[in-house]
């Protein structure tokens, strides 16, 4: 319940920031979904890569409970999520990369996560709103509009970071978004 609440707060804060920026614009924004997604990407990249960097290498196997995924599994999931969903949202080919594994070192997982955000940045820079109504395969053969991939990205980024932040806090580490401003 707490995770859902924190995810909702994070999502609403991001949406509020986007709405505030949009209101200051003198003219209507062309491709508002693509522009908004790129704005959310920047925040996700900073916070999520900061969280992966902040977790000590010997804590990558950490799980809050036996039923939950390890921090390394979360990093592997983020890498695949970014590469797959950014490709679907932007209608570009997913990158051909070596599959990340939970047993990979912290440095290797951080490098792969960084590359996945680099790919998202490149893919989403080419995205516009003209194809959002196209029907695509989302997961497991299920069809949906391309816009759903964009919405899943936005929600997933918030969920992934909130999970990483929780794992950090449970290990006595202040997450990037909670760090004092420098």
Q: Are 10 and 48 in contact (CB under 8 A)?
A: no
Residue 132 belongs to domain spanning? 2-25+35-178
- Please give the average per-residue pLDDT across 1-30, as a whole number: 57
> Phi and psi at residue 137, in whole multiples of 5°?
-85, 125
Does a structural domain hold residue 54? Answer: yes
Does a structural domain hold residue 30? Answer: no
Does a structural domain hold residue 96? Answer: yes
Task: Report CA Rg, the chain.
Answer: 17
Q: Which pLDDT tens digit goes with each residue over 38-81? A: 999 999 999 999 999 999 999 999 999 999 999 999 999 999 99
Distance of alpha carbon 78 from alpha carbon 116, whole angstroms: 8
- Please give the average per-residue pLDDT across 115-126, as a whole number: 97
Distance of alpha carbon 81 from alpha carbon 176, whole angstroms: 21
Does a structural domain hold residue 120? Answer: yes
Does a structural domain hold residue 117? Answer: yes
Does a structural domain hold residue 52? Answer: yes
Q: Residue 85: is its pLDDT beyond 70?
A: yes
pLDDT of residue 28: 81
At 146, which CATH number? 1.20.120.450
Query: What residues contact 153, with CB distance under 8 A and at least 6 apart?
Result: 37, 40, 85, 86, 89, 120
Does a structural domain hold residue 150? Answer: yes
Q: Which pLDDT tens digit goes with each residue over 123-154? A: 999 999 999 999 999 988 899 999 999 999 99
Does a structural domain hold residue 98? Answer: yes
Distance of alpha carbon 158 from alpha carbon 153, whole angstroms: 9
Domain count, the chain: 1
Helix, strand or coil, per DSSP, at residue 55: coil
Residue 124: CA atoms inside 13 Å, Cβ hemisphere, count?
Answer: 27
The mean pLDDT of the chain is 90
Return the structure tokens found at 108.
Answer: 């290797």
- Please give the average per-residue pLDDT across 103-120, as a whole number: 98
Smallest Cα–Cα separation from 133: which of 94, 95, 91?
Answer: 91
Element (H, E) at 142: none
């Amino acid at each position: 319940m707490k995770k859902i609440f924190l995810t909702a707060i994070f999502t609403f804060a991001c949406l509020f920031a986007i709405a505030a920026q949009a209101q200051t614009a003198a003219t209507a924004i062309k491709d508002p979904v693509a522009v908004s997604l790129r704005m959310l990407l920047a925040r996700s990249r900073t916070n999520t890569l900061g969280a992966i960097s902040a977790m000590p290498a010997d804590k990558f196997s950490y799980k809050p409970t036996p039923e939950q995924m390890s921090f390394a599994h979360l990093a592997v999931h983020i890498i695949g999520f970014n590469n797959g969903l950014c490709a679907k949202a932007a209608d570009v080919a997913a990158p051909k990369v070596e599959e990340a594994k939970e047993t990979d070192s912290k440095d290797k997982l951080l490098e792969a996560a960084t590359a996945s955000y680099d790919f998202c940045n490149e893919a989403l820079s080419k995205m516009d709103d003209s194809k959002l109504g196209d029907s695509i395969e989302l997961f497991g053969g299920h069809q949906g509009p391309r816009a759903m991939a964009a919405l899943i990205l936005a929600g997933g980024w918030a969920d992934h970071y909130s999970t990483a932040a929780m794992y950090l806090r449970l290990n006595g580490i202040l997450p990037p978004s909670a760090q004092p401003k420098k």
